[in-house]
Each structure stands twice: as structure tokens, then as C-alpha cells.
């Protein structure tokens, strides 16, 4: 017997594909990323392999029921980029541009509205990578 796929997993995968389609990163559900690609990961864990200095990690936060059939899904995007704090801020601004205050994003999941909930910038780590945490809220139907 195969377990059903969680609505949160479905949303993260569709969101990763949407971010890929918008040119903000590369989403490969099964293939490994090569050095220089901004990999989009949906497993919730920041990669530690060599060459993963530029990455986006999608993780689900607790969903909230807003009615019998409606849900507020929350996805946190952790970003990391080799470069300055301005580079990290520009990456966050690019994600805001394609996600914040958007309808039907990602397409096909009956998401009525997406909005930025919070942003926390991160200063450089010992490898010179800056980043941040952006949390987006997705108003949609229960079960997607």
C-alpha cells in the first residue's frame, strides 16, 4: 500500500517548480545539482555538500484551518547565497516579486492568495554565505 502525499509536500513541490519556472533557481526532484546551480530543495534540510553555496530550501510550517474547507498553508523559504548581504537581500526581493500578493500561485492548486508573512535576514557564515528566512502564507482549499 502506498501512503498518500501530504498537502504540504504537494504545495512545496509545486512551489519549487513555480520558482524554477520563474528563473529563480533550479528544481530537480531526483537528480543531483551541479556546482553553480541555485538548487531548490523541498525536503526541509539545507544541503551540506560541496558546491551548494547558493540554495533555496522550502519547509512547511503548521497549517491553520480557517473554515470547514479552507486552510492557511505556510511555507518558509530559507535562502543562502555566496556573496554580500545585498546579494541576499536582492534574492529575497526576487522571491517577493514572484510570490507576495499573488493569486493562483503556484498554479493549479486552488490557492486564492499568497502573501509574505515575515522575513528574517541572516548575516554571513564562516564560508561567506548570506541568506534569510521568508515565510509565505497561502490561502487555499483543504487538501489541495
What is residue 34's predicted lDDT score, i.e. its pLDDT? 87
What are the per-10-residue average pLDDT scores of the chain (144 residues)? Answer: 90 98 95 89 87 93 93 97 96 98 94 97 94 97 87
> Do 114 and 137 touch, CB atoms closer than 8 A?
yes
CATH number of the domain to which 136 belongs? 3.30.2000.10
Q: How many domains, the chain? A: 1
| DSSP output for 75-99 | EEEEEEEES-HHHHHHHHHHHHHHH
- Residue 43: inside a domain: yes
- Residue 2: inside a domain: no
- Residue 71: inside a domain: yes
- Residue 1: inside a domain: no
Query: Chain-centre distance of CA 20, in angstroms?
Result: 10
The model's pTM is: 0.94
- Residue 104: inside a domain: yes
Strand partners, 35: none
What is residue 78's predicted lDDT score, i.e. its pLDDT? 97
Minimal CA–CA distance to 134: which of 85, 57, 77?
77
What is residue 67's predicted lDDT score, i.e. its pLDDT? 87
What is residue 117's predicted lDDT score, i.e. its pLDDT? 97
Q: Distance between CA 106 and CA 133 in Å, rounded?
A: 19
Domain that holds residue 106: 7-141
What is residue 48's predicted lDDT score, i.e. its pLDDT? 83
Minimal CA–CA distance to 73: which of 12, 2, 132, 122?
12
- Residue 50: inside a domain: yes
Amino acid at each position: 500500500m502506498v501512503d498518500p502525499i501530504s498537502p504540504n509536500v504537494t504545495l512545496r513541490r509545486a512551489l519549487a517548480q513555480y520558482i524554477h519556472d520563474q528563473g529563480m533557481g533550479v528544481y530537480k526532484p531526483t537528480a543531483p545539482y551541479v556546482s553553480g546551480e541555485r538548487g531548490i530543495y523541498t525536503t526541509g534540510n539545507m544541503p551540506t555538500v560541496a558546491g551548494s553555496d547558493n540554495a533555496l530550501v522550502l519547509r512547511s510550517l503548521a497549517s491553520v484551518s480557517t473554515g470547514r474547507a479552507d486552510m492557511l498553508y505556510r511555507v518558509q523559504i530559507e535562502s543562502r547565497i555566496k556573496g554580500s548581504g545585498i546579494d541576499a537581500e536582492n534574492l529575497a526581493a526576487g522571491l517577493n516579486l514572484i510570490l507576495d500578493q499573488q493569486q493562483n500561485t503556484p498554479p493549479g492548486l486552488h490557492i486564492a492568495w499568497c502573501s509574505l508573512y515575515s522575513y528574517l535576514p541572516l548575516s554571513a557564515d564562516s564560508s561567506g554565505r548570506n541568506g534569510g528566512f521568508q515565510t509565505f502564507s497561502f490561502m487555499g482549499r483543504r487538501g489541495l
